Each structure stands twice: as C-alpha cells, then as structure tokens.
Structure 1
Amino acid sequence: MESVGIALILLVAVVLSGTLSRLSPVAIPLPLIQIALGVLIATVFGAGVELQPEVFFLLFLPPLLFLDGWRIPKEGLFRDRAVILELALGLVVLTVLGVGVLIKWMIPSMPLPVAFALAAIVSPTDPIAVSAIAARVPIPKRLMHILEGESLLNDASGLVCMQLAVAAALTGVFSLTSAFGTFLWLAIGGIAIGAGVTLVVTKVKDYVSHKLGEEPGSQILISLLIPFGAYLLAEHFHCSGILAAVAAGIAMSYAEQTGQALGVTRVRRGAVWDTMQFALNGIIFVLFGEQLPKIISGAAKVVTETGHMHPAWLLGYVLAINIALGLLRFAWVWVSLRFTLFRAARQGRTMYKPHWRLLAATSLAGVRGAITLAGILTLPLAMNDGTPFPARDLAIFLAAGVIVFSLIAASISLPFLLHNLELPPEPSARQEEDIARIAAAEAAIRAIEKHQHALGQGRTDADIYSDVGARLMELYRRRIEGSKTGDDAETARMMADVDRRLRLAALRAERDEFFRLGRTRVVSDEIIRRLVREIDLAEARYNLSS
C-alpha cells in the first residue's frame, strides 16, 4: 500500500505542477516547478523512494522514446537530415570525449569510464523542456523540427554511449574495436527488432480487426504494450532496447498511414498517449526533486574525494560542465553552418545566412531533461564484486545540476534571443494543405456520386438521395474552387474561419442544453453521454482545424 500511496502523491504533484505553471505570472519552465514539488514532498514526507535502476529505465524510457519516434515530423527529419545527424551523432561523440576528459581533469578521483558515462548522459537534449520554456516566445518551426529530430537520435546515441562506458567501468576493460562492434550490434539489432515488432503486431492486429471487428480499448492497450515488447525483446538478444523503442515508434507512424484504425480509436488513443507523456515526464522530474536532498547529501560526502573540502566546489563543477557543453555546441553549430554554406556555394546555390542570435538560440536550446535524468538514475548501485559503484552520487548530482542550470539559462536567454528575430524563410505549408484538401474533396465527390446511385437505385424515394448528394457535392466543389484561385482562396479561408467559429458556438450551446436536460432528468444519462460524446468529437475536429 505504501508504494501505491507514493504513486498517487507523485501523480497529484504532476497535476498540481500544471496548475502552478499556468498561474505563474512569469514563464517558469514546468520541469523546474515539478522538481520544486518533489523537494517539498521529500521535506514533508521524509522517507525517499528507493529507485531500482533497471525498473526505472524500463518503466519510463521505452514509452517516451516510442512516442517521440511516432510523432516526430518525418518531412522535417528528412529535409534537415544532414544537420540532424551532425548534431545527434557527431556532436554526441565530441561531447562524450571533450566533456569526459574535462570531468576527469577536474575530478581525478572519478574513474575515466564513469566520467565518460556522465558526459554521455548529459549529451541528449529535450525538446519538450524547450517548448515549455518558449511557450510565450514562439520558436521557429524549422528550428523546433531540428531540435526534435536531434533529440530523437541523440537520446539513443547518448544512452548507448553511456551503456558502453558503464560496461567498461564494471569490467575494467575497454577495446575500441570491440566497442565499435558492440555498437553496431546494439544499433542494427535494436533498430531491426523495434521495427519488426511494430510491423508484426500491427499486421496481426489489422487481420484480427478485419475478421472480428475493432475494439478501441484493445487497440489502445496494444499501442501501449508495443514499446515495452520491443525494448524487452531487444534486451533479451543483447541489442539496444532504446533504439528498439525509437525504431518501433517510427515504424508505428508509417503503419498508421495505412488508415486501418477507426477514427474513434485514433481520437481516444491520442488522448491516452498525451496523458501518458505528461504523466511520465512529470513523474520523472518530481522523483528527481524527491531524490535531490539525498543526492546533495551523498555528493557533499564524496566531494572531499575530489581534493576539495568545501561542498561549494560542486557548483563550480556544474558551471564548468555547462559552459563546456554550451561552447562545444556553439562551435559545432557554427562549423556545421560554415560547411553547409561552403557546400552550397560550390553547388551554385544561394543560402540564407542566419543571424548570430539564431545560432546562439540553437546552442542554448540544447536543454537537458527527462532522458538525461532517467539515464543517470540507472547507474548501477554496485560493481560486479559487490563494492559500491564509484562516485555514483556525485555523477547523479552533476547531471542533475546540468539539467537545472540548462533549464534556467534557456528560460532567461531564449526569449531575449528570439524576440523580433528575423528568421530564415520556411517553406509554406498552405500550398501543401490546399493540394491535400483539393485532392480529398475530389475523392469525396467521386464517393458521393458512386454511393448515391447505389443507395437510390430502384427506390421510389431516389430523388432524396440525389438532392442530399447534390448539396454535399456543392460544398466540396466550393472548397475546390476556393483553393484554386488567389483572392477567392483568401476569402474562402476567411469564410471557413467564420464558419468554424459559428459552428463551435453552436456546438457549445447544444452541449449546454444536453447537460440541462440531463440535470432536469428530461433525458436519461445514457443518451446524454452519447450525445455529448458526439459534440465533443465534432468540437475537437473544428479546434484541430484552427
């Protein structure tokens, strides 16, 4: 019962953090509020949560990485693949080597493999934390897509590098050739298993649904189980469960494009996954805050091992690591931009040269978050011989300090750097949307013509089908004409916006009346729930189109 009570307290703290974030007059990052609530829980309730690294890793990382792979915009990922790969792979390797050597130089008592493990786990970035910081200052879409793509890949590369470093710390043996071979096996095997699990499960699921019908609750539960299945299967074959979860998510996004699932399943599943993401990210940071007093205490005890007697040196280490991360990231972004401009000039292309503030924003947007925290908490408690893992508390504290410092630095600097910044031109999504709407309207007209003839054939009231079909087709033809012409297109968009606003007002009025009828017992609760569900789905549709 104690564990159930702790889980409920953590969830209440996550809910409360969202409320406090909205009430705050200044843009305080949500993760910082959740960390503060965790510290408060530890202060009030005393006894801390005993975290088992393997269980913590399994519960939190697979679903978060799976969802990142599922929802990341693929067109942005492929368009900026060169930049994303440079940041997600090249910068991670540079960070592991550069920051790892710096940590070892500053803290000679920390074993080199542990220093590299710490450097590896602070290399992944967290776009969710960035979007929380910049909620009141819009981040350029293309920059956000690059950050999302980088985060998706550097989560995997950073965590795999950490696993290799931890293995070297446990065994005391490290071979570059062996590490490279292990990395290939981890990566290729993990990706293949993750994609394979998703494809097999979705094929079986679609076959069963086609034969027996689709039940939304089962479909949602299957989507929740896929990342755990991919992760556990990959780990069973000593591959990367992390990459398996990411690959499973990317494969899921392509499987979704077959359109096999019912609309109601997609709506309910999206809500469940949004809740899951919010809860897991929040619990990670609340747990971090709850563990923070114990982490600080443990780090203060081992700080004397570094050759310094005062715990204040811990803050100096955190500051030095953050400065190193920022300088390495800025240098890498600058060199990458110069290389891209040089390559474009050789090909005869003219490219937009971004302002230095955009480069600085890209560097400072490399905020560390949930993945770094989840990864560092999975450091082993003991070595293979049973002795305590060296400098574990100190490594956890330094990673935690990097997270907090990067959140604060980004929340202060990003609004300034992005304010009134002239941004590089981005490809317009309006033209693509118009093409899609025209094609969909033409397909709808063909379907209406086909079905109205089939439904009305041989009936005495066939003219009813013709009249209804004609009215529907006229709506679609007006959409097509409005999308094809210049001024008319803008007028059509304005009319669509007015139509959306009026429909939303009408839907709210309908729903209020349904609730009134339910309260006065004029209509049964069962019927009211069904009618309100229809209104909610329609309202969600019009809100999504805004």
Structure 2
Amino acid sequence: MTVLSGESLINDAASLTLVRVFTLIAAGTSLTIWQDLGIFGLAIGVGFAVGIVLGVAVHWIRMRINDPVVETIMSILLPFVAYVLAEHLSGSGVIAVVTAGLYIGYNSPKEGYATRLQERPLWTSIDVILEGFVFALIGLQLKTVVQDLLESNRSLAQTLTAAAVVLVVVVLVRPLFVFESYARNRINGRWLRPLRVRLSRGHRSLRWLRGTAEPKLNWRELTVISWTGMRGVVTLAAAVAVVSDPVQVKAQDTIFIIAFVVTVGTLLLQGLTLPFVIRALQVQDPGESEEDVRSEMRLNQRTTEAAIALLERRRPAWAEQYGHQAVDSVVNRLKARLERQAETLRRDAEEEEDEERNAPMRLRGAQIQDIRRELLDRRREIVLEEREKGNLDEEVMRRVLVTLDAEELAMDSAQASRSRS
C-alpha cells in the first residue's frame, strides 16, 4: 500500500543500526548520542547515495541497449556492486542494495517487455534458492554459535533475554511507525498535496511533487498491516555485515543469536497468527473483485481510445511517408482490431460477473482456463509431430512454440491477477 511507501528501506536502516549499536556495546565501545547519530547517518546516507546513483545509472543503460540478456545480467550484478561499493565507502551495503532495487523495480515498467518476462521467473527462482540456502546455513551454524557462547564467559540466559527484548521492541515499534506514517501522510495529503499540485502545474519536471493520494484505512486495516512485520534474510545480512566491520567484536555469537531469535520469532509469531488476526478483525472487502474488474475495464478502454487517437493523429504523416492508400488500409484494420479487442474484454468481464450470479449455468474462469490449456497442449503436440515427421523446420517450430507460450503466459498472468485480487 502507498502508506508504506519506502518502508522496506526504513526497516532495513533500523535493523542495521540496531545491530551495529549492539556490536559496539558488545565490543566495549562507549558512544555518545552524537556518535550514535553519526553512525546512523553515515550508514544511511552513503548507502542511499550509492544505491540511488547505481540504480539511476543501470536504469539509464538498460533503457538504451535493448538486449534482454545483457539487461538481466546487469540486474543480477547490481546488488553485488552496490553492496561492495557502499561497504568500501563506510556505508550500509544493505541499504544500497535495497535502494537500487527499489529504483530499478519502480522503473521496470518503462523498460522492454522481453526483459520483464525474462527477469520475473529468474528472480523468483533466485529468491527461493537464496532464502533456502541462507536459512540452511543458519540452522547449520546455530549449534556452533551456541557452543561458542557456552564456552565463553557470557551467559546464555542473558543473551536470550536480550534477544527477547529486541524481539518485543521490533514487534512494538512497527505499529507505532505504521499508524504514525498513515496519520502524517493523510495530513500531508489534506494540506500539502493541493499546494504541491499547484506548484507542479504546468511543469512536467516537477510532477513528482504531486505524490499519490493515500487510501483511507481504518484501525483494523492498519493493525493487520502492523502485524505483517516478519523479518527475514535482511536482518541476518545486516548482522553479518556488522560482524565484518573493522571494529574488533568479541561477541559475534551474541549478535548472531539475537538476529536469529528476531527472525525466527517474527516469522513464527506473526506469520502463523496473521490469518487469525485478519479473520478476527474482519478485514475484507466483498466488492474488491468487482471493483478490480471495473478498473481493468476502464484502463483497457482508456488505452484503446488513446491508441485509436494516435492512429488518427499520425495518419497524415504516415500517409505522406508511405502512401495514402496503404496507410488508410492499415489504420482502418488496426482500428477495427482494437475495437474488437475492447469489445471482447468488455464481454468477458460481463460474463465473469454473470458467473458469480449464475454459477450453476456457466463454467467458472478456472474451468475455462483448463479447457484452453488442453487446446494449447494439443496444438503443441501437433507441432512436435510435424517436426518428428520432418515436415517442419526447427526455426519455424520454435517461432510457433513462442506464440503458443505467449498465449498461455497471458492466460496465466490474467488468472494470477484475479486470484490475488
């Protein structure tokens, strides 16, 4: 939700700073409040600057090379470059990676569709592999860390007590942040957004000042958002980054156990109870699905009208360049195709609404998708049969399969968006 815009960056900064403070305390370093603020400001400022600079540079390059493979490789290398560079400049590598990722992700719709189609399954797979790998290493290392702690002069009970206190603080700070951010953004939207709109009016370069209007949320919805503060790999990565600092730390096992308790505690406590909290607070919107369908119809209508208007506006220039007769034929055909697509989408949306009211008389969307998948599978079988018979060139076969795959991808994407709504 927009009320939590930039929340990942703030949470990562808080986690990193908290662990660094524990590191310095464990190392026996005495700090003043100004030194604490200096550490915080340096970590956040340098990390943010490195992340935003690299994000802007990589996005600028990706917008111009038009090569999905190279663009994907750049997105894979970006986190490593951002982390190493930020740490080398005494900043936060975690913040740099998060900042660069937020910028690239926000601007990805401006890039080529082939890159998005290639990166989506790739990053999903990498995410699963890395998370599984990290938690596996945590489990393998936990026994050694506990043994080192028991062999030292530090008390396991005191370490677990400190970890429990940190866990409670992490859980309680999030509701304060969510409710305060929502109240502040609503106030800014009521009093400051009209001023920003007036200032940016007529200046395209200042449109970013307008921002977006915050949705109106009640206390139940904000409570559910507050309860979704599960920690994960970022917390552990921050702990590892602090342990590797130049400061000589003798309590690395303590820092690791605290990060481990916070991560596992939030995942188990909040993750397992989140469905119960949602049901208990009755946070649901019965009309959300219908509203999403209507919004989708309005968006499709706007895009179709804009495309038709572009055809009419560009018709004279195209006619002068390519010839009136040829351009008129193509433009009329494209207009008819766009109008048919818009009508088909409108009819499909109406049929989906009818399915909810007349379920026994119509097939549901999932059932229709199953039938379409059987048809696509049969078409693929024919393609392979023709290849085996030697009647089909390999390159032609692959082009046909790409078309069939794109059709099934569009179908799966539409079904996934409906299921999420």
Partner SS state of residue 392, structure 2: coil
Aligned residues of 1:186 and 1:239 also touching (Cα < 8 A): yes
Q: Which residues of 2 match residues 459-498 of structure 1 at below 5 A? A: 465=330, 468-469=333-334, 471-476=336-341, 478=343, 482=346, 490-491=350-351
Pair 1:535-2:400 in alignment: no
Deviation per residue, 1:96-141 (Å, 9 max, x gap): xxxxxxxxxxxxxxxxxxxxxxxxxxxxxxxxxxxxxxxxxxxxxx
> Given the superposition, is the C-alpha separation of residues 411 and 238 from structure 1 closer, same or farther in structure 2, using an over 3 Å criterion?
closer
Pair 1:188-2:53 in alignment: no
Q: Which residues of 2 match residues 397-436 of structure 1 at below 5 A? A: 397-419=257-279, 421-423=281-283, 428-436=291-299
Aligned residues of 2:47 and 2:94 also touching (Cα < 8 A): yes
From 502, 508, 511, the equivalent of 2:377 is: 508
Q: Tell me which residue corresponds to 1:376.
A: 239
For residues 153 and 467 of structure 1, the distance between their equivalents in structure 2, rounded to whole angstroms, comes to: 52
Matched letter for residue 53 of structure 2: G
Q: Tell me which residue corresponds to 2:100.
A: 248
Aligned residues of 1:479 and 1:492 also touching (Cα < 8 A): no
Q: Tell me which residue corresponds to 2:219.
A: 354
Q: Tell me which residue corresponds to 2:131.
A: 281
Aligned-residue offset at 1:218 = 0.9
Q: Tell me which residue corresponds to 1:365.
A: 228
Aligned-residue offset at 1:408 = 2.5
Aligned residues of 1:354 and 1:423 also touching (Cα < 8 A): no
> Given the superposition, is the C-alpha separation of residues 494 and 227 from structure 1 closer, same or farther in structure 2, using an over 3 Å criterion?
farther
Aligned-residue offset at 1:289 = 1.6
> Given the superposition, is the C-alpha separation of residues 512 and 524 from structure 1 closer, same or farther in structure 2, using an over 3 Å criterion?
same
Pair 1:150-2:7 in alignment: yes
Q: Tell me which residue corresponds to 1:197.
A: 54
Aligned-residue offset at 1:155 = 1.2
Aligned residues of 2:19 and 2:255 also touching (Cα < 8 A): no
From 108, 112, 115, the equivalent of 1:265 is: 115
> Given the superposition, is the C-alpha separation of residues 160 and 404 from structure 1 closer, same or farther in structure 2, using an over 3 Å criterion?
closer
Partner SS state of residue 545, structure 1: helix
Show structure 2 runs of 5+ residues with no match.
192-215, 356-363, 416-421
Aligned-residue offset at 1:521 = 5.0
For residues 192 and 364 of structure 1, the distance between their equivalents in structure 2, rounded to whole angstroms, comes to: 31
Aligned-residue offset at 1:506 = 3.3
For residues 257 and 530 of structure 1, the distance between their equivalents in structure 2, rounded to whole angstroms, comes to: 25
Q: Tell me which residue corresponds to 1:117.
A: none
Pair 1:175-2:32 in alignment: yes
> Given the superposition, is the C-alpha separation of residues 232 and 400 from structure 1 closer, same or farther in structure 2, using an over 3 Å criterion?
closer
Aligned residues of 1:500 and 1:542 also touching (Cα < 8 A): no
Deviation per residue, 1:37-66 (Å, 9 max, x gap): xxxxxxxxxxxxxxxxxxxxxxxxxxxxxx
Aligned-residue offset at 1:154 = 0.4
> Given the superposition, is the C-alpha separation of residues 416 and 464 from structure 1 closer, same or farther in structure 2, using an over 3 Å criterion?
same
For residues 324 and 184 of structure 1, the distance between their equivalents in structure 2, rounded to whole angstroms, comes to: 21
Deviation per residue, 1:204-262 (Å, 9 max, x gap): 4444x3xxxx3221111112222333333333333333322222223224543434x2x
Aligned residues of 1:354 and 1:424 also touching (Cα < 8 A): no
Aligned residues of 1:441 and 1:479 also touching (Cα < 8 A): no
Q: Give the aligned length.
A: 375
Aligned residues of 1:333 and 1:359 also touching (Cα < 8 A): no
Deviation per residue, 1:49-94 (Å, 9 max, x gap): xxxxxxxxxxxxxxxxxxxxxxxxxxx33xx1xxx4xxxxxxxxxx
Matched letter for residue 138 of structure 2: F
Structure ranking higher on relative contact order (CA contacts 8 Å, 6+ apart): 1
Aligned residues of 1:504 and 1:542 also touching (Cα < 8 A): no
Aligned residues of 1:199 and 1:255 also touching (Cα < 8 A): no
For residues 187 and 530 of structure 1, the distance between their equivalents in structure 2, rounded to whole angstroms, comes to: 48
Q: What TM-score do the two structures reach when normalised by structure 1?
A: 0.56
> Given the superposition, is the C-alpha separation of residues 451 and 294 from structure 1 closer, same or farther in structure 2, using an over 3 Å criterion?
farther
For residues 442 and 359 of structure 1, the distance between their equivalents in structure 2, rounded to whole angstroms, comes to: 38
Aligned residues of 2:178 and 2:225 also touching (Cα < 8 A): no
Aligned residues of 1:448 and 1:473 also touching (Cα < 8 A): no
CA-atom RMSD in angstroms: 4.4
Pair 1:305-2:162 in alignment: no
Percent identity, please: 23
From 243, 246, 250, the equivalent of 1:390 is: 250
For residues 120 and 21 of structure 2, the distance between their equivalents in structure 1, rounded to whole angstroms, comes to: 35
> Given the superposition, is the C-alpha separation of residues 402 and 206 from structure 1 closer, same or farther in structure 2, using an over 3 Å criterion?
closer
Matched letter for residue 474 of structure 1: E
Q: Tell me which residue corresponds to 1:132.
A: none
For residues 247 and 362 of structure 1, the distance between their equivalents in structure 2, rounded to whole angstroms, comes to: 22
For residues 138 and 395 of structure 2, the distance between their equivalents in structure 1, rounded to whole angstroms, comes to: 43
Aligned-residue offset at 1:440 = 1.0
Aligned residues of 2:68 and 2:115 also touching (Cα < 8 A): yes
For residues 50 and 180 of structure 2, the distance between their equivalents in structure 1, rounded to whole angstroms, comes to: 33
For residues 401 and 23 of structure 2, the distance between their equivalents in structure 1, rounded to whole angstroms, comes to: 54
Matched letter for residue 234 of structure 2: I
Aligned-residue offset at 1:437 = 1.4
Partner SS state of residue 91, structure 2: coil
